[in-house]
Structure formats: C-alpha cells, structure tokens
C-alpha cells in the first residue's frame, strides 16, 4: 500500500479535522488516491459512538449519476445505441422523446431539475410509469442544447433506458457490469451492515435531527447509492483512467471532455458525459459531488497527476465538500509532488517510423511523433498551429481524437515504392517540402517556384 510522509498525513488530517469541527459534521471520512491506490485516509467524528473507518457506508447522492453514465457508455460501445439517438428510439411513450441521450447525460436537455410532486429526496419513490405520468411537456424548461441545467429527472429517465436495453433493472446491470468487476463489494442501493445515519444539524444549537432515507423508486438513478472509502477510492481511480475491463480508457477520457459549463466566460465548473469537471489552480479535475438529506459526498481526480481525493459526511449541509476535496488534492501534491513516470522504450511498428518527423502544410511546419500507444501526435513547430492526436483505423487511415481535427480522418498517400508522399487531412495536404509540386496541392503550385 502506498504511504505518505507523516508530515503530509498530519496536514491532511488537520484539514479534515478543521472542517468537521468548524462546520459541525457528526462524522466525516476522507481519502487521497494516487495511481489507483489509497495513499492516505482519515476520519473525524463518531458513528454509533465509534470512529468511522474505510468500511463505513455513507450515502453518495448524485455520485450515483456517473455510475448510470458508465452503463450508458457501455451500451454505446457495444453498438446498442448512439449518443445522438433521440430518446424515443429506445424509450418510447414520453413527452420529450426528441431529446438526445447525450443531452440527458450532460444536463443540456432542458428537462426540469426535480421530479414533480413532493421533494423526491425525502419522499418514497414510485415506479417509472408513475414518474412518466407526471412528466408533461411543461417539464421541458429550456430549449434542448441551450445551456447547462442540472436535471435529476434526466437520470431517472436514463435509468429506465438502461432497464429497457438490458432487459433487467439498472441495479442488476450495475452490479454485474461495474461494481463486481471493480471489486466494489460495499456499494449498494440501501445501507448494509456498518453505516452512518443521516443527520441534520441545527443552525443555532449543537443538536441533530435524523433525516429519512427512503427508496427513491424511479428517481433512484439520480442519487440512491451508498458506499465506503475503500469502494469510492476504486471508483475515483476508475475516473482517472484505471478502468479495468469495465470501459476502455478512451471512453472514460471521452466522458471527461467538456460539453457545457456552469459559469460564464472563465468557467470553473463544467460537465461532460455524466461527470462534473472542475478547473482549479491550473488543474482539470473530474468526478462528481452528491448531496441527499443527511449526507454530503464528493470525489475528484486530476488525470494528469493521478492524484484524487474523496470525502463523505453524514450531515445535510455545512461542510464545504468540493473545496475540502480540492484542498486535500492540493495538500498532497504540494507536500509530495508526484514523480513523472520513468521513460522506457516501447514496442513500435517499424513501418510507422517513416511517418515521423517534419511535414509542411503550405509554409507552416509540423512534426509527427509516435506515442507509446502507437498513435500519431501531430503538432506545430513553435506551437503556432493546430495539434491533434490520431489513432489507427487501418489501411493508412487515422482518426482524429482531439483538437481541431477531432473526428476527422488523416489518410497517408504513398508513392509506388511505398514511401509516404503526402498526408490528406480533411482536405489539407501535408508534404515533406513546403508546397511540394509533386503533391496534389489545392490550387496548384506556381511553376516559377519560390523566389527572392
């Protein structure tokens, strides 16, 4: 097990101790995750008269949502749906069948934030048919795609979509496809064995009130799950890229891409495909927060440094849960900066070496290098221009993964002897020499050539 220095551990413990005491949380547990493992964990307060530990369950609230998103992405990767599909293709009989799956995942559907009726988080939930009956056309509050609008209802809808596509409940799919493979044996829809009770703390007195924890029924995909430090640490590592056999790392990276933002021009909070995204002190972090009556939770990870953190508390309000997680990550990296991974030679197809080196788009110069994954990395000389990475499609075709050329195809055109002659990238021709007259440069090349 990875261990941190005593000075680092004390700084981390002091931070959670200050939060628990200052904001009067009955109990609070936390952990720092590094390279897929728990590097530190700590707890303050009491559960049933004893200190909670890494196996004490707390309710996750909306951290349930990214689990639902992973099940949807598995369906996509299996070819059972497309994120651009209209909902009615897979879940007919709603008043909002024109919404796309991607819009529901990213909270850009415009669908109402909360289920109609009484406050669903404190009410016993009903089944899908009853929920759907309350969702009239009036529950579409904004034009689809217009802006970010957090929708708990949208994830209730996605839970039913998973049930329809899998032929069994979303919880069964979650256990078989995600929780089991990740070894998350203490994550469940209801508390099991050792768990924290949910409390509301009086704002003007040091007394508490128990909060109800009813089954949310069809709204359960928005916030039903309970978990532990041990299990949530595995989930945090999963979001960072330690995906096992549940999803391809590229799919999780796709989930972490920004689709919409929650704040203005200089955004700090955004959303991808089921994941909350945070920009903080030059970092780009991914994860999710959660709150239910009696509970607060948050997990975030920086995929670049592989440092993440999680916090769970059994209080309805008061704990600055997001800031606490950000502070734990910052403290860990400030006290013990992660070392870069050692460079090692990697297996590379010798045929790809002919593609590397200097290329030109007109007079602009670019380099191509081979990544450790066997992808191509196209980037401008001097950082002035468009950069993208490409993965192989076969037959000298490469798919753009990011940047301007995301989704575009790069094709290698070869001379009769097999030597790469030029690259055709979305109609842009890249050649070994600037404006090579032997390549099909659009518009041709002046016969007089370069001149003083």
CATH of the domain at 105: 3.40.710.10
Q: List, for residues 109-126, the tens digit of each pLDDT value.
A: 999 999 998 889 999 999
In a domain, residue 310? The reply is yes
pLDDT value at residue 351 = 86
Strand, helix or coil for residue 226: strand
**Based on the domain organization, do 319 and 401 belong to the same domain?**
no
DSSP 405: G
**Based on the domain organization, do 384 and 306 belong to the same domain?**
no
- pLDDT-above-70 percentage for the chain: 100
What is the domain extent for residue 155? Answer: 39-335
pLDDT value at residue 1 = 59
CA 14, CA 7: separation in Å to the nearest integer? Answer: 11
**Based on the domain organization, do 300 and 396 belong to the same domain?**
no
Q: Does residue 96 contact residue 109 with C-beta atoms inside 8 Å?
A: yes
**Based on the domain organization, do 372 and 415 belong to the same domain?**
yes
Question: 249-253 contacts: CB < 8 A, separation 24 or more?
Answer: 250/391, 250/401, 251/73, 251/77, 253/303
Number of domains in the chain: 2
In a domain, residue 395? The reply is yes
In a domain, residue 20? The reply is no
CA 7, CA 27: separation in Å to the nearest integer? Answer: 23
**Based on the domain organization, do 310 and 360 belong to the same domain?**
no
In a domain, residue 241? The reply is yes
**Based on the domain organization, do 251 and 399 belong to the same domain?**
no
Mean residue pLDDT of the chain comes to: 95
Strand, helix or coil for residue 253: helix
In a domain, residue 451? The reply is no
CA 67, CA 222: separation in Å to the nearest integer? Answer: 10
What CATH number does residue 395 fall under?
2.40.128
**Based on the domain organization, do 66 and 132 belong to the same domain?**
yes
Say if residue 219's pLDDT is above 90: yes
Structure tokens at 3: 């261990």
CA 58, CA 312: separation in Å to the nearest integer? Answer: 7
**Based on the domain organization, do 331 and 406 belong to the same domain?**
no
Last residue of a domain, one of 303, 335, 367: 335
Last residue of a domain, one of 310, 335, 360: 335
Structure tokens at 404: 């301007």
**Based on the domain organization, do 326 and 405 belong to the same domain?**
no
- 312 φ, ψ (degrees, to nearest 5): -135, 140
Instruction: With cut-offs at 50, 70 and 90, classify the pLDDT of residue 264.
Output: low
Residue 34: count other Cβ atoms within 10 Å of its Cβ. Answer: 22
Last residue of a domain, one of 307, 335, 363: 335
- Look at strands 269-271 and 260-261 and give their pairing: antiparallel
Rounded to two decimals, the pTM is 0.91
In a domain, residue 387? The reply is yes
CA 367, CA 26: separation in Å to the nearest integer? Answer: 57
Instruction: With cut-offs at 50, 70 and 90, classify the pLDDT of residue 262.
Output: confident
CA distances from 201 to 24, 51, 318 (A): 7, 19, 9
Structure tokens at 126: 């009903």
Structure tokens at 243: 């995906």
In a domain, residue 34? The reply is no
**Based on the domain organization, do 232 and 363 belong to the same domain?**
no
Strand, helix or coil for residue 429: strand
**Based on the domain organization, do 50 and 190 belong to the same domain?**
yes
Q: How much of the chain is in helix, strand and coil states, percent to nearest 5? A: 30, 25, 45
Q: List, for residues 135-183, the tens digit of each pLDDT value.
A: 999 999 999 999 999 999 999 999 999 999 999 999 999 999 999 999 9
Burial of 262 (0-12, 13-18, 19+ CB in 10 A): middle
**Based on the domain organization, do 313 and 418 belong to the same domain?**
no
In a domain, residue 174? The reply is yes
CA 239, CA 66: separation in Å to the nearest integer? Answer: 9
DSSP 198: P
């Amino acid at each position: 097990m990875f261990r941190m220095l005593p000075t680092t551990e004390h700084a981390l413990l002091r931070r959670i101790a200050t939060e628990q005491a200052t904001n009067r949380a009955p109990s609070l547990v936390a952990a720092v995750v590094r390279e897929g493992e728990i590097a530190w964990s700590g707890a303050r307060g009491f559960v049933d008269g004893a200190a909670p530990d890494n196996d004490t369950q707390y309710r996750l609230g909306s951290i349930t949502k990214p689990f639902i998103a992973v099940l949807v992405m598995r369906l996509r990767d299996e070819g059972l749906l497309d994120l651009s599909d209209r909902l009615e293709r897979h879940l007919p009989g709603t008043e909002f069948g024109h919404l796309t799956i991607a819009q529901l995942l990213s909270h850009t559907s415009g669908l109402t934030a909360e289920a109609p009726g009484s406050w669903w988080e404190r009410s016993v939930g009903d089944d899908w048919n009853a929920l759907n009956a309350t969702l009239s056309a009036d529950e579409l509050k904004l034009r689809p795609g217009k802006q970010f609008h957090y929708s708990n209802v949208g994830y209730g809808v996605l839970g039913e979509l998973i049930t329809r596509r899998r032929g069994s409940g979303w919880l069964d799919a979650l256990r078989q496809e995600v929780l089991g493979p990740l070894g998350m044996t203490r994550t469940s829809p209801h508390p099991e064995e050792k768990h924290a009770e949910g409390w509301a703390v009086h704002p003007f007195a040091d007394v508490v009130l128990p909060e109800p924890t009813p089954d949310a029924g069809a709204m359960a995909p928005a916030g039903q799950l309970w978990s532990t430090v041990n299990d949530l640490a595995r989930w945090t590592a999963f979001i960072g890229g330690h995906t096992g056999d549940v999803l391809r790392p590229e799919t999780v990276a796709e989930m972490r891409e920004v689709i919409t933002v929650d704040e203005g021009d200089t955004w700090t909070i955004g959303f991808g495909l089921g994941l909350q995204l945070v920009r903080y002190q030059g970092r780009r972090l991914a994860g999710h927060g959660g709150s239910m009556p009696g509970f607060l939770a948050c997990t975030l990870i920086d995929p670049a440094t592989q440092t993440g953190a999680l916090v769970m508390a059994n209080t309805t309000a008061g704990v600055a849960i997001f800031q606490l997680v950000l502070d734990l990550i910052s403290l860990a990296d400030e006290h013990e900066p992660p070392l870069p991974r050692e460079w090692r030679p990697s297996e590379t197809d010798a045929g790809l070496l002919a593609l590397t080196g200097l290329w030109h788009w007109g007079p602009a110069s670019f380099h191509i290098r081979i990544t450790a994954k066997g992808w191509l990395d196209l980037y401008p000389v001097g950082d002035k221009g468009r950069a993208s990475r490409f993965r192989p499609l076969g037959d000298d075709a490469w798919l753009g993964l990011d940047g301007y050329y995301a989704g575009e195809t790069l094709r290698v055109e070869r001379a009769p002897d097999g030597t790469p002659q030029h690259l055709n990238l979305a109609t842009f021709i890249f050649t070994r020499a600037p404006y090579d007259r032997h390549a099909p440069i659009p518009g041709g090349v002046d016969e007089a050539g370069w001149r003083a």
